[in-house]
């Protein structure tokens, strides 16, 4: 991992994506954004990130299916995926975890929790893949 960890935000709701990207840039991460699942898959393949923030309801390829694909491919299965779920949707969080997500955050995003959660998952990932 470079000293500036690379986070890919896959989120179709642009205001939410911009908020998350700005926040992560402010905390020193390198950030990329994909507005749909197919673009996200393409970006992971071309420039593998250190962690993915994954919205679940996405056009073209939803976050559940994209997570399944990434976690079943040995080239990408090590990349931690943190799902972004709507607050009330407990079932979404459960489905995200069974699709292979490493964790989840509920929307609206808690601006203090987000960078902490990302650092935690990056640390676990580095420990598992030295
Ligand atoms: Mn969405």
Spatial distance between the Cα atoms of 82 and 66, rounded to a whole number of angstroms: 12
Is residue 1 one of the residues assigned to a domain?
no
In a domain, 74, yes or no: yes
Note whether residue 81 is domain-resident: yes
* CATH number, domain with residue 39: 3.40.50.2300
Ligand 1 center–CA 14 separation, angstroms = 9
Q: Which residues surround ligand 1, an ion (CB under 5 A)?
A: 12, 55, 57
For residue 87, the CA-to-ligand 1 centroid distance in Å is: 13
Coil/strand/helix, residue 5: coil
pLDDT tens per residue across span 114-128: 999 999 999 988 888
Question: Per-residue pLDDT averaged across 95-112, rounded?
Answer: 93
In a domain? residue 110 = yes
Closest CA to 82 of 49, 39, 60: 49
Residue 73 forms part of a structural domain: yes
Domain that includes residue 63, residue range: 6-128
Confidence of residue 129 (pLDDT cuts 50, 70, 90): confident
**Is 89 among the domain residues?**
yes
CA dist 126 and 50 (Å) reads 9
Q: What is the per-residue pLDDT across 17-52, written as a single tens digit (0 to 9) for each?
A: 999 999 999 999 999 999 999 999 999 999 999 999
Each residue's pLDDT tens digit, 46-97: 999 999 999 999 999 999 999 999 999 999 999 999 999 987 778 999 999 9
Residue 11: phi and psi, rounded to 5, are: -155, 125
> DSSP string covering 34-99, please?
ESSHHHHHHHHHHS--SEEEEESS-SSS-HHHHHHHHHHSTTTTTS-EEEEEETT-HHHHHHHHHH
12 contact partners, CB below 8 Å, separation of at least 6: 35, 36, 55, 57, 58, 59
pTM: 0.94
- Calpha distance 69→43 (Å, rounded): 14
CA of 55 to the centre of ligand 1 (A): 6
Tell me how far apart the alpha carbons of residues 42 and 126 are, in angstroms, rounded to a whole number: 24
pLDDT over threshold 90, residue 3: no
Structural domains counted in the chain: 1
- pLDDT of 56 reads 95
């Amino acid at each position: 991992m470079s000293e500036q960890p690379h986070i890919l935000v896959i989120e179709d709701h642009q205001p939410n994506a911009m908020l998350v990207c700005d926040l992560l840039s402010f905390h020193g991460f390198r950030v990329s954004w994909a507005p749909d699942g197919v673009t996200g898959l393409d970006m992971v393949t071309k420039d593998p990130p250190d962690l993915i923030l994954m919205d679940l309801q996405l056009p073209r390829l939803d976050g559940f299916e994209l997570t399944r694909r990434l976690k079943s491919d040995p080239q990408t299965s090590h990349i931690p995926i943190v799902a972004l779920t709507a607050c009330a949707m407990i079932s979404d969080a459960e489905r995200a975890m069974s699709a292979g997500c490493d964790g989840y955050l509920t929307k609206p995003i808690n601006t203090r929790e987000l960078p902490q959660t990302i650092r935690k998952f990056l640390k676990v990932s580095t420990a598992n893949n030295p």
